[in-house]
Chain A
Amino acid sequence: MSISAPRGLASSGQKPITEILHPLSAAEEPLSPGPDVTVSGGRDKEVGLTNGTPVETPSPASASVLFNRLQLDDDLDSDGRDPYADTETHDLFVTVDDPKKHVSTMETYITYRVSTKTTRIEFDLPDYSVRRRYQDFDWLRTKLEDSQPTHLIPPLPEKFVMKGVVDRFSEEFVETRMKALDKFLKRVADHPVLSFNPHLNAFLSAKDLNKRQGLALLSKVGESVKNVAGGYKLRVRPPEFCAMGEYLDTFNQKLGTIDRIAQRILKEQSEYLTELREYGTVYASWAGSEEELQRPLEGVAGCVTTCCGALEDMSENMGQDFLPVLREYILYIESMKNVLRKRDQSQAEYEGRLEAAVLRKQEDRTPIPAEVEKCQDKMECFNADLKADWERWQSNKRQDFKQLLTGMADKNVTHYEKCQAAWESLITLLQDKQTEDKTSCKSLWEIRQ
């Protein structure tokens, strides 16, 4: 697995969404490098400001990007396996942040800043900062799918949202979507083949994405795969691809189940929270009619309130961080299955044509046309690309889910820690008063001693 800029963390220091600014006026400055910029390839490249690069629009995420890269390094060292460490250079770093609302008479939409730092010669400059909207990401993905059909293209967050149900401009929604877009771009930038795609280059650097023009830069393979003829029937699928398909099916199912469970938990927690709040108020109102017991009862009410707050925080986190990642993987699986289907078709076509050609050769000694060889090439390319991508994907998936689940565990631990602290401080308060008490009357507990 590669480590360029780590995932989903570029969200510090955003401006509020309500700032109305023309999206394209915000940050189109071509960033000029400072005099003492030393850019080198390899894993030790320092990112961003530490070189003394004067950057007009500071990328607020640089520090955390650096920090998290270090963390991820640690993870991988302990992990022990990194099949791409030697084969990939880490010279393309991308970040998505800074959402801004753009209001026009025709429509309202959000744009995001896409920042790029790179040493690749395919790029004219080492830094770019452009603003893009969701549509642009969608365009990019479609172009990638079309031009690199033998590869697994990472998913985008969902396109459509129910207008009445979800607020497209709420902070949570925008934040969640932005994190997903950032992840998407990082995965593409990490990919040894996709990251060199000219459409990506255009996306990252062009001032104006003229999408209608459609850059005519399809690769050879892309061109031919796009025109795969249907109607051929696959005979025998190689076992490794069968295994992939089965795995995806089962994994999809399990993810769906986990999604349902997580949602159910959120629902139950929300109902629990409602009752818990009410419960706290009963203690508070009882305190009103007591003298000696007033402070203890108020103390309990306070603890209950604190626990409510802690639970609210956790639930919010789960909704924002956990569920979207699950859904993303479900989308990923969908697109991967499509790719598998295309591979099947490519194999079927080759085998079909080959069979036909062999028959003709037997009949009238017509040589096997170049067509058939091309098909064979196509298929073999497909298989190789797919296998390579599969390994990457498995590895990424493992990291992602490790992070996701440990995050969930962490949130739960934090929640309980907060609650425990609240109750412990209450006990100190309550027990202090106990020792002051010198009345001769006995409590039931004392009678039982």
Chain B
Amino acid sequence: MNTLVCLLQSRKMVEEGSTLMRRMEICVAEAEKRSGKNAVSMQETFTVYLIETRPMDAVAEGHNPAPDCLWRRYSEFELLRNYLIVTYPYIVVPPLPEKRAEFVWHKLSADNMDPDFVERRRVGLENFLLRVASHPVLCNDKILCYFLTEEHGWKEAVYETGFQAKADSRLRALSATFRVRNPDKCFMEMKHYSDELQSHTSQLLRARARVADRLYGVFKVHGNYGRVFSEWSAIEKEMGDGLQSAGHHMDAYAASIDDILEEEEHYADQLKEYLFYAEALRAVCRKHELTQFELEMASQDLISKKQQREELATGIVRTFSFKGMTNKLFGQEAPEQREARLKLLEDLIAEGEETVKEKTIERAEHVEKAWVDIQRFKEQKDKDLREALINYAVMQISMCKKGIQVWSNAKECFLKM
């Protein structure tokens, strides 16, 4: 199902930098089922999505050439995103649509193969690509470009970057969170905010699903009126026609809820995007904690080495050390040994200083770049969510109008009874 073709007029472009979007028109046009053998040689069915790209210049010149296209499955999108997260830890990386249907209300299918789910996922994947391609930093990434243009060479290229090795281990990140001493206050506030955002969006999604469920029930019961009015009209003379027609309107009313709720799923998807965005935001904040922590550790290490050197040089033991104890008990070591140890320490200190310098720079760069992207993210979020709320209000109004229509029609029929 081909819905929106994303046409980007060069006039209306974002001013900062030359984004991919300026050069290419991107869309996820279709979805198809495929079968194949997976990694463990088992037969499986999966869905692939068609990515179409067209160079902007051609479009601007009015040529309308056929788009380049290739097929990708969800797991490839995941791979791309993981690469981006590792490679750009100071960027709030746009999220993918959910892997499995969650927050379903009872009539909504939780089946990944369900056509409605696939369609909504197609839109979500398209949003992901559009967001990435219009991001001032991410849009220039080579791997992203290959993803969009090289059907077969892409995976090799991404593995070649060795990004998986660069990924921070979960354990390290968690440890940093607990042990870091002086994380930047703003980042901590932002991290707290990301928790709030996640909590509120997920609460809202759950509540909305429950409301949808109940509303469905209310509408469907009205369908029973349709049937009983029809039966009743059979025994009436003058009242018969009016009742019969009113019954039809009741049936229409009961049926209308299906479309209403399907449309509302789009709103839910918009909320979900920011539910997942909250996680991306938190990841950036945690990366800050990690860089800060590593800097602290490196500094601490350097300090302790310098202390050791001092002790060694002056013979005064400030802090308890095993060497100090053994010295006291067994006498000082020989001068050659001391020299050797001092030399070693000096080397280590030099290394340590380098490390501290590196970590300082790493931390500072991360703080600077991340803060810029976080501001960008905030603005984007405010705009997007405001629009989502407007859309939601529009949907509600449309539902009210339909309701008024149906009941007014029914009233006309009743008046004719």
What residues of chain A have their CB less than 8 Å away from a CB belonging to chain B? 247, 250-251, 254, 257-258, 261, 264-265, 268-269, 271-272, 275-276, 278-279, 282-283, 285-286, 289, 292-293, 296-297, 299-300, 303, 398, 401-402, 405-406, 409-410, 412-413, 415-417, 419-420, 423-424, 426-427, 430-431, 433-434, 437, 439-449
**Nearest CB on B from A26, distance (A):** 40
> Bound state CA distance, A444 and B384, in angstroms?
6
B46 contacts partner chain A, Cβ-Cβ < 8 Å: no
B3-28 contact mask (Cβ, 8 Å, vs A): 1 or 0:
01010100010111000010000000
Residue pair B390, A431 in contact (C-beta under 8 Å): yes
**Nearest CB on A from B197, distance (A):** 7
Residue pair B196, A405 in contact (C-beta under 8 Å): no
Residue pair A406, B411 in contact (C-beta under 8 Å): yes
With beta carbons under 8 angstroms apart, the residue of A261, A405, A426, A440 that contacts B414 is A405
Residue pair A417, B404 in contact (C-beta under 8 Å): yes
Given A261-B221, A416-B407, A434-B134 contact (CB < 8 Å) = no
**Nearest CB on A from B105, distance (A):** 11
Residue pair A419, B239 in contact (C-beta under 8 Å): no
With beta carbons under 8 angstroms apart, the residue of B8, B203, B400 that contacts A420 is B400
> Bound state CA distance, A402 and B246, in angstroms?
12
What residues of chain B have their CB less than 8 Å away from a CB belonging to chain A? 4, 6, 8, 12, 14-16, 21, 127, 130-131, 134, 193, 196-197, 200-201, 203-204, 207-208, 210-211, 213-215, 217-218, 221-222, 224-225, 228, 231-232, 235, 238-239, 246, 376, 379-380, 382-387, 389-390, 392-394, 396-397, 400-401, 403-404, 407-408, 410-411, 414-415, 417
Residue pair B386, A433 in contact (C-beta under 8 Å): yes
Contact residues in A for B235 (Cβ distance below 8 Å): 247, 250-251, 254
Residue pair A448, B130 in contact (C-beta under 8 Å): yes
List of 6 A-B pairs having minimum Cβ-Cβ separation, nearest first: A409-B411, A443-B383, A420-B400, A272-B214, A286-B200, A441-B379
Residue pair B232, A251 in contact (C-beta under 8 Å): yes
7 contacts between A and B (CB under 8 A): A289-B200, A292-B382, A402-B414, A430-B386, A431-B390, A441-B379, A446-B383
With beta carbons under 8 angstroms apart, the residue of B215, B221, B386 that contacts A264 is B221
**Nearest CB on B from A179, distance (A):** 20
Complex: chain A residue closest to B233, CB-CB: A254
> Bound state CA distance, A127 and B153, in angstroms?
101
With beta carbons under 8 angstroms apart, the residue of A297, A406, A445 that contacts B415 is A406
Complex: chain A residue closest to B238, CB-CB: A398
Contact residues in B for A426 (Cβ distance below 8 Å): 393
With beta carbons under 8 angstroms apart, the residue of B380, B386, B397 that contacts A442 is B380
**Nearest CB on A from B145, distance (A):** 18
> Bound state CA distance, A446 and B15, in angstroms?
14
> Bound state CA distance, A412 and B408, in angstroms?
9
Q: List 18 additional A-B contacts (Cβ < 8 Å) besides A440-B15, A445-B384.
A: A247-B235, A264-B221, A265-B218, A272-B218, A275-B214, A282-B204, A300-B389, A300-B392, A402-B414, A405-B414, A409-B407, A409-B414, A420-B396, A424-B393, A424-B397, A434-B390, A442-B14, A443-B380
Residue pair B408, A254 in contact (C-beta under 8 Å): no
With beta carbons under 8 angstroms apart, the residue of A271, A286, A434, A439 that contacts B379 is A439
Given A423-B400, A431-B390, A271-B4 contact (CB < 8 Å) = no
**Nearest CB on B from A344, distance (A):** 21
**Nearest CB on B from A135, distance (A):** 35
Residue pair A442, B389 in contact (C-beta under 8 Å): no
Contact residues in B for A257 (Cβ distance below 8 Å): 224, 228, 231
> Bound state CA distance, A389 and B225, in angstroms?
29
Residue pair A441, B380 in contact (C-beta under 8 Å): yes
Given A258-B228, A402-B417, A443-B387, A289-B193 contact (CB < 8 Å) = yes
> Bound state CA distance, A431 and B127, in angstroms?
23
Residue pair B407, A412 in contact (C-beta under 8 Å): yes
Complex: chain A residue closest to B27, CB-CB: A448
**Nearest CB on A from B358, distance (A):** 33
> Bound state CA distance, A289 and B382, in angstroms?
13
Complex: chain A residue closest to B9, CB-CB: A449
Q: Is the interface of B mostly helix, strand, loop or mixed?
A: helix
Residue pair A447, B131 in contact (C-beta under 8 Å): yes
Complex: chain A residue closest to B223, CB-CB: A261
Residue pair A447, B130 in contact (C-beta under 8 Å): yes
> Bound state CA distance, A342 and B50, in angstroms?
80
Contact residues in B for A416 (Cβ distance below 8 Å): 400-401, 403-404, 407
> Bound state CA distance, A376 and B136, in angstroms?
102
Contact residues in A for B204 (Cβ distance below 8 Å): 279, 282-283, 286
Contact residues in A for B196 (Cβ distance below 8 Å): 286, 289
> Bound state CA distance, A276 and B228, in angstroms?
29
Contact residues in B for A286 (Cβ distance below 8 Å): 196, 200-201, 203-204
Complex: chain B residue closest to A397, CB-CB: B239
Query: Of A257, A283, A443, A449, which is in contact with the most chain B CB atoms at under 10 Å from its CB?
Result: A443
**Nearest CB on A from B289, distance (A):** 21
Contact residues in A for B396 (Cβ distance below 8 Å): 303, 419-420, 423
> Bound state CA distance, A433 and B383, in angstroms?
10
With beta carbons under 8 angstroms apart, the residue of B217, B224, B239 that contacts A398 is B239
Query: Of B131, B211, B393, which is in contact with the most chain A CB atoms at under 10 Å from its CB?
Result: B393
Contact residues in A for B214 (Cβ distance below 8 Å): 268, 271-272, 275-276
Given A410-B411, A442-B134, A254-B383 contact (CB < 8 Å) = no
Residue pair A445, B387 in contact (C-beta under 8 Å): yes
Residue pair B12, A449 in contact (C-beta under 8 Å): yes
Residue pair A441, B397 in contact (C-beta under 8 Å): no
Contact residues in A for B411 (Cβ distance below 8 Å): 406, 409-410, 413
> Bound state CA distance, A271 and B231, in angstroms?
29
Residue pair B408, A413 in contact (C-beta under 8 Å): yes
Contact residues in A for B376 (Cβ distance below 8 Å): 441
Contact residues in B for A272 (Cβ distance below 8 Å): 211, 214-215, 217-218
Complex: chain A residue closest to B403, CB-CB: A416
Given A286-B200, A416-B404, A448-B4 contact (CB < 8 Å) = yes
Residue pair A444, B385 in contact (C-beta under 8 Å): no
Residue pair B385, A285 in contact (C-beta under 8 Å): no
Given A251-B235, A417-B400, A447-B207 contact (CB < 8 Å) = no
**Nearest CB on B from A105, distance (A):** 48
Complex: chain A residue closest to B394, CB-CB: A427
**Nearest CB on B from A263, distance (A):** 10
Residue pair B407, A413 in contact (C-beta under 8 Å): yes
Query: Of B14, B16, B404, which is in contact with the most chain A CB atoms at under 10 Å from its CB?
Result: B404
With beta carbons under 8 angstroms apart, the residue of A254, A265, A293 that contacts B221 is A265
> Bound state CA distance, A314 and B386, in angstroms?
31
**Nearest CB on A from B10, distance (A):** 13
Contact residues in B for A405 (Cβ distance below 8 Å): 246, 410, 414, 417
Complex: chain B residue closest to A410, CB-CB: B411
> Bound state CA distance, A406 and B414, in angstroms?
6
Query: Of A283, A300, A423, which is in contact with the most chain B CB atoms at under 10 Å from its CB?
Result: A423
**Nearest CB on B from A92, distance (A):** 28
